[in-house]
Each structure stands twice: as structure tokens, then as C-alpha cells.
Amino acid sequence: MLSLKLPRLFSIDQMPEVFHEQGIVFGYRHPQSSATACVLSLFQMTNETLNIWTHLLPFWFFVWKFVTVLCVTDIQNDSYSWPLLVYMGTSCVYPLVSSCAHTFSSMSGNARHICYFLDYGAVNLFSLDSALWLERLVRLSLGKHFIRPGEMLSQVAGNPCFGGWPSPARASCLPVFLEIKKPGLSKMLRVLAFAYPYTWDSIPIFCRLFLFPGESAQNEATLYHQKHMAMTLLASFFYSAHVPECLAPGCFDYIGHSHQLFHVCVILATHMQMEAILLDKTLRKEWLLANSRVLSFPQIAGATLLCLIFSLSNIIYFSASLYRIPEPELQKKET
């Protein structure tokens, strides 16, 4: 009878410091796992297993949603839907990359950082919120096409002089070099790197919901926008507070720790946002076409390509930096 030997798991005091997670005591994979062992860990209960599956399963759901929209869209002639297709395409990318990052992050200390660099890059591709204003064009035009209450507001919120800096792609990678010596500062910088662009890009939504509740602003999508905001705030809380594992270390190692809850909230937020945009696209089409300009394919493709190039450049730069710094500075081995 065939038997499959699953990789051995470790406790926090057996792991290099770079792998330590606040409040997580048991269930760590070997810090130099092989790729095969990482894949096998998908079917073994570790402290990363649900982190992987909470993004891997939604990836297939978002792919199904994307394909469904593609099947009913005249891609060649319906330029009004192009920003939506870009949005839905990137909504499939970040859960897949995140699940892969969590799967292979135990191969080494540097591999862990590189995996999460890729994760941050995918999130930035999804949000299109880095320093260059062209990287913001697709998302801003998406909002402008589907959810913005007015042309003047979209011009103000889309100004790259305000929204482009700091770059989340760069700022989310920088805290890696502070994780060991200043973990609190590292976490704060990473939270701010994503909170700032989200807040800036959400200004038109805030205005629509709370300041401009008149004609062409409120419809059935409003409730989805509100749920999206609530889930995003909840995700931010779980990501930064390490609740509940910090209250009872060792009790939530496998199920129920904050990063799993963060993943669930992020996926729900994306789902709510997607439903809101799909509704707005249909219900406000006439008003939006009358009050906004449809972007050309070169504009959308160029913005997406620039965002991809910029994110990959950051990933390559910071990955190379890992190998220029002496290993003890980034990874303290147990004595």
C-alpha cells in the first residue's frame, strides 16, 4: 500500500527569525523546503495552508466571472467595457500570485522575501496605484467610466502630483529590510504604503456616497460600495493588529489567525467592488457616456504595460538588493 510522507513541521523556536510570525507558535514548514515539499504542504495542515487556499479557490471564482463577462462583450467594438475587462483580468492575477507566494515562501529566507515582492507587485498591478500617473490611468478611468459623480472631481482625484507618491510598489518592498530590527516600523510602513493610495483613489466614492447623493450617483450599486469599504477597513484591521493570535499565542496557529481573516476580507472586498462596478456599468451607462470620455486602446494598454514594467523593475531591484546585503542582517539564525 502506497503512503505519502508529509514534510515535518516546526515550532517558532526552531525557526530563523525571518520566518517568525507574531502570535504563531507551531505549524512552521522547514525554512529550506524543496519546491516539492512546498506543493505537498497544500495538502497538509500548516500555519500557511489556509493562507494559500483562501486565495487559490477565489482565483478560480474570479476567472469564472471574467470569462462570463468576456463571453457577453463585443471586445473589438465595445470600448466602454475595456476598463472593466482590465480590472477583472487583474482581479484574477493577485489571488493566484498571493497563493503561490505563500506556497513557496518557505524555500529560504531570501525566497520568502522575493515571493512577497511578487505578491506586492501583483497587488499593485491590481490597484494600479504606483508613482507614475500612467499606472493610475486604467483604474481612474474605470472609476471615471463607472462610478465617478462628476468630471471635475475625477480630474482632481486623478492628479498624479497628489496620488502618485509614495509608490506602493516601492514602499511595500522597503520594509523587508527593517523586519528584524524594527518590526513595528516595518509593519506600519507597509500598511501606509497600501492605505494611502486606497484612500486617495476612494475619494470619488466617498464623495459620491456622502457628499453627492443626488441624481446619477445613487443606485443599487451603492450598497455594494459600502460593503466594499467595510470589508477593506476590516481587512486593514486584521493585517495590522494580529488579532486574535496575539491575544492567545498558539491557539490560532492553523485556523483563525489574522492573516487568514485578512485574506477572506480582501477577497470579499474585491467581490463587492466587482459587483458594484458591474451594476454601475449597466445602470449608469447613458449618463457616464454623456459625461466622460472613452479611453482608447493604446491608452489603456500603455498604462497597464507601464504599471507592469514598473512593478517588475521594483521586484528585480529589491530582489537583487537581498543578495547584496550580508545574510545575518536580514536573517538571524537561532543560536
Going by pLDDT thresholds of 50, 70 and 90, the confidence category of residue 104 is very high
Domain assignment present for residue 7? The answer is: no
Domain assignment present for residue 27? The answer is: no
Percent of the chain with pLDDT over 70: 76
CB 31 within 8 A of CB 19: yes
The burial class, CB within 10 Å (0-12 / 13-18 / 19+), for 226 is middle
Percent of the chain with pLDDT over 90: 41
Domain assignment present for residue 111? The answer is: yes
State pTM to two decimals: 0.86
CB 83 within 8 A of CB 141: yes
CB 147 within 8 A of CB 285: no
Q: Which residues contact 25 (CB under 8 A, 6 or more apart)?
A: 11, 12, 249, 250, 253
Domain assignment present for residue 128? The answer is: yes
CB 117 within 8 A of CB 173: yes
Q: What is the pLDDT of residues 11-49, one digit of tens each?
A: 999 999 999 999 999 999 999 999 999 999 999 999 999
Which CATH number is 104's domain given?
A: 1.20.1070
Domain assignment present for residue 2? The answer is: no
Q: What is the pLDDT of residues 69-78, one digit of tens each?
A: 999 999 888 8
pLDDT at residue 5 is higher than 80 = no
Average pLDDT for the chain = 80
CB 332 within 8 A of CB 18: yes
Report the domain count for the chain. Answer: 1
Domain assignment present for residue 257? The answer is: yes
Question: Which range (7-11, 86-90, 98-102, 111-115) has the least confidence?
Answer: 86-90
Domain assignment present for residue 35? The answer is: no
Domain assignment present for residue 40? The answer is: no
Distance of alpha carbon 190 from alpha carbon 172, whole angstroms? 5
Structural domain that includes position 289 = 46-330
Q: What is the pLDDT of residues 280-326, one digit of tens each?
A: 888 877 766 776 677 777 877 887 788 788 888 888 988 998 887 76
Question: What's the mean pLDDT in 78-100?
Answer: 89
